[in-house]
Amino acid sequence: MTGRSLRWFLGGIALLLLLAVGALALFPLLLDAPTVQAYVAQTASHAVGRPVKFTSLSVSLLPLPHVNLKGLEIADDPRFGTAPLLRVGEMRVGLRVRPLLSLRIELASITLQDAQVQAIEDGGRWNFAALGGAAPSTKPSPRPVPGIPGSAAMGSVMVSRIALKNATVDIRRHSVKNGDIRIEGLDATVSGVGGSELDVRGDAKLEPGDLKLRNILATVGLRGSGDLPIKASVDLEGSDIGPLARMVVTPTPALAGPVKGKLQLSGTPTRLSGTGHLDLNRLVLTDDRPQCRPPRRQLVIDELHVPILLTPASFESLPLSGKVSKGAVGFNLTTRLDGSTALTLGDIKIAGLPLQPILQDYLCQSFAVSGPLDLTGQLSLRTADLLRTMNGTGQFKVGAGRVIGEGALRLVRDVLSAGNVLDTALRGKLAEPGRNALDFDSITGSYKIVNGVARTDDVVYQSKELRVTMAGTYALADGRTDMKVVATQGSNTLRAQITGSGSSLRVVPTGVNVKEPAEVRKFLDRLLR
């Protein structure tokens, strides 16, 4: 190509561009706004299968041709209510430039700013399930556009990709108690619109709980009108696990603490399954206990790791592990998702767990002891009435510690005084809890709990000067007790039956064998000073 021909070629290109720009500049003048608005609303309503309306429509050519719709609303299925399925503050529709040169309108992109979606499930059916109806099998034929010369036509109404900015999705499930959730600040790209699957990628925030959802990758099937198949993965990060725990696991005790994790989900919105994990560096349990002063009590669990196995009917952690003070706790946690508040703790393994922070500082048990606990067992309960619904079995050993609970100290005194041994040494007033303690080397035994009542046949309390064996029952909720006790101090033996509850325990001696009264006096003097 010569220089002359090159100049003619470039001049021709410039002329074509000038004509194209001129045509685009005249394009908004060719639009009859009221007619076009009515046509667009009618066409959109036909495409989605629901009434569509908006407050205004405008066309801009720069930097690229696009249409702005404000106040857009798509009506919901009347069976689910009168509120709109979708509200959009502003919708920007990008137009393809090349078709415009032939006075054809084809959509290039859609951006929804401040969209609000109401996703409602009732009886296993979602309000958006039939949105748009069945996908057409062939490409729709062009249709004339009112307000544009007869040669103009409307191309495909659908677009393959939609961008969401600061969207909100309210999910309400009538079939699940306390199952409402809210997704806020959703910035995402939705691909595959008009096809058989939606591909969603983005970030958002989940309420309740101010839980940040990062790196959302989800695929949603759109075949049929029933429940929709979902595959998704998401990274989680939040400043407080409490609101989510109240909804999924238990309302009491209240849980609080930062959380990180990852979930992989599959199934349908009403029957989700998945795996993943949650990590909490510091979880605080808070509960109100009327018998405590002050009544509000807290327990801190460190380095809590929660593997997750989610099924449509239950939530499982296999195994959950954490640390309390210097002790390690692990168990398999299972809870049903039917609102029953039932929890099952299987394969419980506790090693070196200090008991004072739990029994005295958190539970305010009057029969509290200190010392490290080792325990294996299993347990089931309902959080709505934790102590009265416990069932389980286990074996335990408490290492060297001391009796610190007021009730336990009083019980020891009452048992040892039941035989009228050395009355004058036993008339002193019991010292305040914590100032007077009974040291022991170990406490061992096994138990079986049925409906909140613990039974044991082999508890052994061992100290340097005293050995006590216990067999009987103890009600966890009210302290109701029916226990046989044998206390041995040197060559002295006392047998007694303990009955009653709380501070009204009654000790009835069933046998006393005192061979060394002086040794008993020395022991009791040390105990009661």
C-alpha to C-alpha distance for 30 and 190, rounded to whole angstroms:
32
pLDDT of res. 250? 62
Distances, alpha carbon 398 to alpha carbons 347, 355, 371, 402, 461, in Å: 19, 9, 6, 10, 9
pLDDT of res. 6? 46
Distances, alpha carbon 489 to alpha carbons 201, 464, 521, in Å: 73, 9, 11
- Is 204 contained in some domain? no
- Is 511 contained in some domain? yes
C-alpha to C-alpha distance for 225 and 228, rounded to whole angstroms:
8
C-alpha to C-alpha distance for 237 and 215, rounded to whole angstroms:
11
**Residue linked to tokens 């010369």:** 149
* H or E segment and range at residue 413: helix 406-417
Partner residues linked to 439 by β-bridges: 402
- Is 165 contained in some domain? yes
Nearest CA among 469, 478, 473 for reference residue 504: 478
Q: Which of 338, 358, 391 is the last residue of a domain?
A: 338
How does DSSP assign 197-263, residue by residue? Answer: EEEEEEEEEEETTTEEEEEEEEEEE--SSSPPPEEEEEEEEES--HHHHHHHT-SSSEEE--EEEEE
pLDDT of res. 9? 44
Residues 440 and 315 in one domain: no
Number of CB atoms found within 10 A of residue 109's CB = 16
- Is 166 contained in some domain? yes
What interhelical angle do 406-417 and 517-528 show, nearest 10?
160
Q: Which two tokens stand for residue 220?
A: 């949603």
Helix (H, G, I), strand (E, B) or coil at 165: strand
In contact, 220 and 236? CB cutoff 8 Å: no
- Is 443 contained in some domain? yes
Residues 85 and 175 in one domain: yes
Query: Number of C-alpha atoms within 13 angstroms, CB side, residue 316?
Result: 14
- Is 294 contained in some domain? yes
In the chain, % helix, strand, coil (3-state, to 5) comes to: 20, 50, 30
Residues 69 and 172 in one domain: yes
Q: Which two tokens stand for residue 502?
A: 């709380």
Partner residues linked to 241 by β-bridges: none
C-alpha to C-alpha distance for 137 and 480, rounded to whole angstroms:
74
- Is 240 contained in some domain? yes
296-310 vs 271-288, strand pairing mode: antiparallel
- Whole-prediction pTM value? 0.69
Partner residues linked to 200 by β-bridges: 190, 218
Residues 330 and 464 in one domain: no
Residues 82 and 189 in one domain: yes
Range of the domain at 294: 226-338
**Per-residue confidence of the chain (529 residues) as pLDDT tens digits?**
554 544 544 444 444 444 444 545 555 555 556 766 776 677 677 767 788 888 887 777 777 777 788 888 888 888 888 888 888 898 887 777 776 666 666 667 788 899 898 888 877 777 876 665 544 444 444 445 444 444 444 444 456 678 889 999 888 877 666 667 888 999 999 887 767 788 899 999 988 777 899 999 999 887 655 567 889 999 999 888 887 777 666 667 888 889 999 999 998 876 889 999 999 999 998 888 887 888 899 899 999 998 999 888 888 888 899 999 889 999 998 887 766 678 899 999 999 999 999 888 888 877 788 999 999 999 999 877 888 999 999 999 999 998 887 777 677 666 656 544 434 333 334 334 333 447 899 999 999 999 999 999 999 999 887 888 999 999 988 888 999 989 887 787 888 888 988 667 787 878 777 666 556 555 555 554 4
**Residue linked to tokens 């989700």:** 272
Residues 417 and 307 in one domain: no
Number of CB atoms found within 10 A of residue 65's CB = 20
- Is 50 contained in some domain? yes
Q: What is the DSSP letter of 359?
A: I
Residues 54 and 158 in one domain: yes
C-alpha to C-alpha distance for 74 and 508, rounded to whole angstroms:
78
Residues 233 and 300 in one domain: yes
Total domain count, the chain: 3
Q: Which of 338, 371, 387 is the last residue of a domain?
A: 338
Q: Which of 318, 338, 358 is the last residue of a domain?
A: 338
Class of residue 207 by CB neighbours under 10 A (exposed 0-12, middle 13-18, buried 19+): middle
Residues 236 and 157 in one domain: no
Residues 123 and 34 in one domain: yes
Residues 489 and 423 in one domain: yes
Residues 424 and 500 in one domain: yes
